[in-house]
Homo-oligomer: A and B are copies of this chain.
Amino acid sequence: MGDHTVTFLPHNKTIKVPSGEMLLRAALEAGVHINASCGGEGVCGKCRVIIEEGEVADGVTEKLKKSDQEKGYRLACRSRIAGDVTVRIPVESDVDASILTLNIPPRQTARVHQMDFEELKEKGLFIPPVEKKYIELPEPTTQDNLADATRLVSFLKLNHDEHRLVVRLPVIRKLPDILREEGFKITATIARPVQEGRKSHIINVDPGDTTAYNYAIAMDIGTTTIYGQLLDLVSGDVLAEHGEFNGQISYGEDVISRIVYAEKPGGLRKLQTVVIKTINDVIRRIVQKASVDCDEISTITLAGNTTMTQLLLAINPRCLRRAPYVPASTIYPPISAAGLGIELGDHVTALVYPAISSYVGGDIVAGVMGSTMYRTEKLTLYLDIGTNAEVVIGNRDWLACAACSAGPAFEGGGIQFGMRAAKGAIQDFSLDPVAWEPMLMTIGNVRPRGIAGSGLITMAAVMFEMGLVDSQGKFNRDLDTPRIRETDGIGEYVLAWEENAGVDRDIVITEVDMDNLIRAKGAIYAGCQTLLEEVGLTIGDVEQIFLAGGFGSYVDLEKAMTIGLLPETDADKVTYIGNGSLMGCKMSSLTNRIRRDVVDVTRKMTSFELSETGSYMDHYVAALFLPHTDISLFPRLKSRMDARKKAS
């Protein structure tokens, strides 16, 4: 990568960034504000900076006059770092320089957890659940006329130490022809048993040597989005990844409305057909992207919340939404993928992650497995923020879990301009402490179209810490900026004026949005606190936090702590694992060990019904502030706020 040093003036802040990084992002990471309203598309022309030493690549658009270019001006949002450079941010002359150095913490992007494949191999844990073996069998003679299947099984036993082999009927059907196609030289695909000591299944045979082509699919069945990954079972690589909206969205946005639809005549069947269609669309795309032959896919692992799983398997979910909230099952037997309607070979078995309860589903179990939380000694808090939020606390010895009725704010639900982490979503934000002008970074560096979860968190945190909103999420109408205004008595802040937006109106964040955000983060925080209390611990005991969810890898942890979504803790303790459900599916495609352990883990996971826990409501009410009624729980934030008060 080759890191370069970027120095920002007059702040005199430096940061090391990789070659090719956008200057605007470098500023954001360093905690330096540059006005920028167009999300990095280079159309607002506000992010003008002066290059004082060194050079940047690009950085010039028609928005920049020739004369200014000659003076060293560049647009920060179009400039790429190509060497050490010193950059001056033009600020209003009347700004006190001290305000620029106020103790606003620099960006703390969560570390992204990457499973180390080499490590897996070293530990001897790279045991894909499906393996291919190339074998050259002796041809039968009158003296040696064993049945084809017996010949295959005996050879594998004798020469490959493969015992307890079962040959499935479809394999028996094709075996005579396949064996005789290339002189009894074949590749056998063997599915390992989930539990040790059980039988291995020969699920497929091909003529010749096809061992180089062995793939798996991992798939997260989200209420909103279905993500799939194509995995190479030989190298362990992710060859392609793709997400599509769950086709069921047309039948209801959340799980409750899906259940209601499933209860109508033909509804369950319809929803199942529709989700399978999306799954097939995703498979088609990733297979195309990676130029892989669909027939070479040997296994698929899926995870989803309990409702998504029951709909996928055509199990009526009606009892999930009625007290006492009983799932039909928490364990799902392996099932033929083709039997479900998934367009994969007849030999492919679909493995579906088990659930814990009606509201802690297989997606959470997958996250617990994939993040290796279930094997660590450290007391871990696992937080999955998706269309709803779930929390797991524990370590390798015990696990407690609960679902928080947080709602989908972090996935864009209930937020006027909320959207998923997709192109045009504001994912990062900074605020001019004087003019209250925003700096927006969007996914894809295009004009903003809405607010992603990570952007929403940062926005609320910055606005609160800089006094733009109070602890109840109300905008300070006394501030001198046209961006704060009222519509129907509700305060709002204009993030992007229509001319710089990717939609045909101003993009705003409102007090209603703030309220929804506070309720969501409050529910999650209260969930964590209640669960900790139930197991006799406090947030201070938590040694590490795994954060999962779809709000994107740019979530700023310090900001998440500032709004009281996360307990205030060392940011180093927090690992962002992205889509935990998908990660779990991927991991169990690469190591059978996880599939073996998962049943034990689900038995170990004690589920708590928060609504049945008396203290939950108290914790919730106390958390309905930024960051919390009791600010002493957030000492770092408190000291920054105190310093700011003193300075102003």
Contacts and interface: CB of A to CB of B under 8 A. Distances in A.
A288 interface: no
Given A319-B176, A332-B169, A324 B147 contact: no
A141 interface: yes
25 contacts: A140-B324, A142-B323, A142-B612, A144-B324, A145-B324, A145-B325, A145-B357, A145-B609, A146-B326, A148-B326, A148-B327, A150-B329, A150-B331, A167-B331, A168-B333, A169-B313, A169-B332, A169-B333, A172-B315, A173-B313, A173-B315, A173-B316, A173-B328, A176-B315, A176-B319
A578 B328 CA distance: 48
Interface of A: 140-150, 166-169, 172-173, 175-177, 313-316, 318-319, 323-333, 335, 355, 357-358, 609, 612
A176 B316 contact: yes
A111 B97 CA distance: 114
Task: Please list the 7 inter-chain residue pairs (A to B) with the smallest Cβ-Cβ separation, ordered nearest first.
Answer: A149-B329, A145-B324, A147-B327, A172-B329, A142-B324, A147-B330, A176-B328
Contacts of A329: 147-150, 167, 172, 175
With most chain B CB atoms within 10 A of its CB, the pick from A142, A147, A323, A332 is A147
A171 B493 CA distance: 54
A166 to B, nearest CB: 6
A313 B172 contact: yes
A612 B169 CA distance: 31
Given A169-B335, A173-B316, 19 more contacts: A142-B612, A143-B612, A145-B326, A145-B357, A147-B328, A148-B327, A148-B328, A149-B330, A150-B330, A166-B333, A167-B329, A169-B315, A169-B332, A173-B315, A173-B328, A175-B328, A175-B329, A176-B316, A176-B319
Nearest to A201: B333
A410 B168 CA distance: 37
A140 B176 contact: no
| Total copies of the chain | 2
A171 to B, nearest CB: 9
Contacts of A148: 319, 326-329
Nearest to A330: B147
Contacts of A166: 333
Contacts of A147: 326-330, 355, 357
A184 to B, nearest CB: 11
A157 B319 CA distance: 24
A26 to B, nearest CB: 51
A600 to B, nearest CB: 15
Contact of A172 (B146, B326, B328, B357): B328
Nearest to A172: B329
Contacts of A142: 323-324, 609, 612
A327 B145 CA distance: 8
A332 B145 contact: no
Nearest to A149: B329
A598 to B, nearest CB: 15
A332 B609 CA distance: 47
A314 B324 CA distance: 48
Contacts of A612: 142-143
Contacts of A358: 145
Nearest to A334: B169
A293 B540 CA distance: 64
Contact of A149 (B314, B328, B357): B328
A315 to B, nearest CB: 5
A324 B146 CA distance: 9
A103 to B, nearest CB: 48
Contacts of A319: 148, 176
Contacts of A328: 147-149, 172-173, 175-176
Contacts of A316: 173, 176-177
Contact of A324 (B141, B173, B327, B333): B141
Nearest to A180: B319
Contacts of A150: 329-331
Contacts of A323: 142
A363 to B, nearest CB: 16
A172 B335 CA distance: 13
A335 B170 CA distance: 11
Contacts of A172: 313, 315, 328-329, 332
A188 to B, nearest CB: 14
A233 B326 CA distance: 34
Contacts of A326: 140, 145-148, 176
A365 B333 CA distance: 32
A332 B171 CA distance: 11
Contacts of A355: 147
A148 B331 CA distance: 11
A336 to B, nearest CB: 10
Contacts of A177: 316
A361 to B, nearest CB: 12
Contacts of A332: 169, 172
Contacts of A149: 328-331
A472 B421 CA distance: 94
A146 B319 CA distance: 12
Contacts of A327: 147-148
A605 to B, nearest CB: 13
Interface centre among A140, A145, A326 (most CB of B within 10 A): A326
A390 to B, nearest CB: 17
